[in-house]
Structure 1
């Protein structure tokens, strides 16, 4: 059975299927995790006070994969050229490999170096299969051809591996509060979905739709107070998927606009990771040393509640994604969305200050 192909309809079908499937599968995963004792105990660095199942990534992966399978079964990929079709399955395979690395860490507490080595190897394998940053457009028409200036193989490999591994770990490090990583990833996925379609990249758009739906379905069970955590398996999967989608779509060629869009959409977790690494290095510690330097920890110490901290970071991410959409589409509706989000951020900050003054 196939449907008349429409990119918008295929994206809607994919996102809806992903949300429903994830929302239905996650409670099953939680029950099994409780039965088998696969829980994350509380400690001084964590926010939860009760043991929590941290295998929610299984539900995210299942919802994402099954939704793409449904889209394929109904002919959603029918109009894609074979090379784009292959990129979808290569991205899915790479994301599954990253998920396995994270799941192994959830179950066996792997040291940081083996995890990093595994991520680099998978990213290199994905690059070898065509998910790569392959060329760069120079400003002022200095590119050698309409296809841009091809990057040397070594430089292309380095740029792709750094991009994939960097964003993956940025999302992983953001996963410190209920619903934070899933919400930020969902907002970023919606931004990549819009940008991909505006740049005529339907393959990336379908992947982003599946990811956005999976995040929405998982938030049903993960928003504060959370009933389940995604674990490193889930955050690695989301991070790699976001990074790979941006390569398959907007950033496949490094142009002044296409590279800027995913960078803007994902700039908050990237900036947070960079600041944390620099702070740890200045303190003479390993970049992987666990501490409370992350943005969400700082907002909590500033007096924001758990939920307000999460909503504020959501708002910042939405604001950055809206600006990226303005650059990609030059449409006023996205400019108004950016302005409305900026007003929301201001209201949250002002309300917090008023509460602090009243408390004094």
Structure 2
């Protein structure tokens, strides 16, 4: 059933993405070419609308399945969907009007607060002894903080074509397997789980969007997509907390039981690391933590000589190393997992910094762009139909006769 819902989410997202692009062109949701960006032609950015459609359709279908009937007894499922819808609309507004950071933060807090009021809330941390949050007010604040951090972490890493969608698809798959295994152990007579449902649907919408978004992309997911991915990931993680027995959290036995805490962090390890590094870097330079720059992880990958496609695939590898290593702790001894993870890290380092940077012509940007009209389509298709956005002086077309690498815009 979960795989069916994943397929439905992917199919709906895939077929509605062209409609989302059409909406982006007519509402002016277009990424201009800014100094900090790595894309070189104006590109529409409302893919989050298609992803949101896939999410809603799949969840509504799941609510009609007897197998998942218990999941929808409470308000949590639609609380996550409602919060996702709020940030999706917020992101769409930002994609059109370029909202200031304070307005975006207020909208993110509103969405996280709405989700928390629908009982998607942290009451305990999955730590040895089961750390309980002492008051309902503090629980609400901690929940909002966790959700807002997750949204912004995914938004920070959304800087190359297919990067954010691929990272969440890979990490979400690991989280899906973990929550499914946890549910099977906890209630072997009933495999229904809200976290497993949400992760299946989340992976589905990412897979459905990737064919349109992988380099060279015809449509960016925009803030409407990246913030929605972060919120749903955080919501699913929160619903898992409290489902492990604190009594088993002693010594080595505590390692797999820490899954609800370790796995969400492992899934967004790259986005979270990128965000922390960016904030520290900007504060150390006396700048606002929201000040844009070209020093994100994906910018550094390009700087060492990787093409856009190769950089994205390597970051996929690192995500898989972190996420599946954490998920493996549920099934295997921690020593075995540690040894395998060490080997995987060495391989990832070699792939990142070794001679493969210049191997594999099919991964080069010029090969990816050769024979396509996407660069020209982004210019000739977006600007004349974007209404008022076409008059923005920041939008400067790059001649289609000499296509150059372009990629998902980095918002911060």
TM-score by shorter chain over 0.5: yes
| Equivalent-residue separation in structure 2 for 1:307 and 1:341 (angstroms) | 21
**1:126-275 to 2 correspondences below 5 Å:** 126-136=115-125, 139=128, 142=129, 149-200=132-183, 202-250=193-241, 256-275=258-277
Equivalent residue, structure 2, for 1:110: 99
1:289-310 per-residue CA deviation (whole Å, 9 max, x = no partner) reads 1111211111111111111111
8 Å CA contact retained: 2:153, 2:271: yes
- Cα distance between partner residues in 2 of 1:36 and 1:103: 10
Shift, 1:114, TM fit:
1.3
The equivalent residue for 2:36 is 45
Residue 312 of structure 2: aligned partner? 310
Q: Structure 2 CA distance, aligned partners of 1:319 and 1:243? A: 20
Match runs of 1:52-131 below 5 Å: 52-80=43-71, 82-83=73-74, 86-131=75-120
- Which shifted more, 35-44 or 162-171? 35-44
| Correspondence for 2:353 among 325, 349, 356 | 349
Q: 1:42 to 1:149 in 2, by over 3 A?
A: closer
For 1:281, which of 283, 302, 305 is the aligned residue?
283
CA distance in 1, matches of 2:287, 2:114: 31
The alpha carbon displacement at 1:127 in A equals 1.5
Report SS of the residue matched to 1:287: coil
Runs (5+) with no aligned partner, structure 2: 184-191, 247-256, 360-412
TM-score by length of 2: 0.76
- Give unmatched runs, 5+ long, in structure 1: 1-9, 356-360
Q: Which residue of 2 aligns with 1:358?
A: none
Q: What per-residue deviation string (whole Å, max 9, x for no partner) do you get for residues 32-65 of structure 1? A: 4335554222122112222111011111100111
Q: Hey, what's the Cα distance between the residues in 2 that align with 1:69 and 1:162?
A: 28
RMSD: 2.5
Q: Provide the TM-score with structure 1 as the length reference.
A: 0.86
Partner Cα separation in structure 1 for residue 93 and residue 352 of structure 2: 39
Contact 2:88 2:228 in 1 (8 A): yes
| Cα offset, 1:174, TM superposition | 0.7
**Residues 322 and 335 in structure 1, CA contact (< 8 A), matched pair in contact too:** no
Higher relative contact order (CA 8 A, sep 6+): 2
Deviation at 1:104, TM superposition (A): 1.2
CA contact (8 A) 1:185 1:212 kept: yes
Structure with max Cα Rg: 2
Which residue, out of 13, 27, 47, partners 1:22?
13
Count of residues in correspondence between the two structures: 338
